[in-house]
Amino acid sequence: MAIVSKMLIGVLTVFLMLLVGGVVLQIFLSRRKSRWPGLVLPLLTFCWALLLVLNIRDTGSVSQNVLAVLMALLTGNVPTLVLLAVYWAVREKQRVRDQVEKMRIKDL
């Protein structure tokens, strides 16, 4: 039992480090002058969510199939929404900073 708990702690630690690294990379890419580098990671996670839909098995019922596809899309796009929120927050902060800089230049 102790081995399993140590392994679980290790896996969760690696997962947390990857999550933090992904957010830091998203912030770095979102700060670029061009807006396209900041959209690369959300696009990749969206494509991954679409691949999740292709892995759904047929249950025999149309309503269960539709529900399974919707759940796969919703849960698969959580990272996409988080990365887009980071992107929009960084870009908005950058836009406000640029406007303040323009006002400061105009005042001089």
- Residue-wise pLDDT for 16-72, tens only, equals 999 999 999 999 999 999 989 999 999 999 999 999 999 888 888 899 999 999 999
pLDDT higher than 80, residue 80: yes
**Number of domains forming the structure of the chain:** 1
Whole-structure pTM value: 0.82
Burial (CB count within 10 angstroms: exposed 0-12, middle 13-18, buried 19+), residue 42: buried
CB count in 10 Å sphere of residue 19: 12
Q: What is the mean pLDDT of residues 73-98?
A: 94
Helix, strand, or coil here: 13? Answer: helix
Q: What pLDDT shows up at residue 42? A: 96
pLDDT of amino acid 104: 87
| Domain housing 70 | 2-107
pLDDT score, position 7: 92
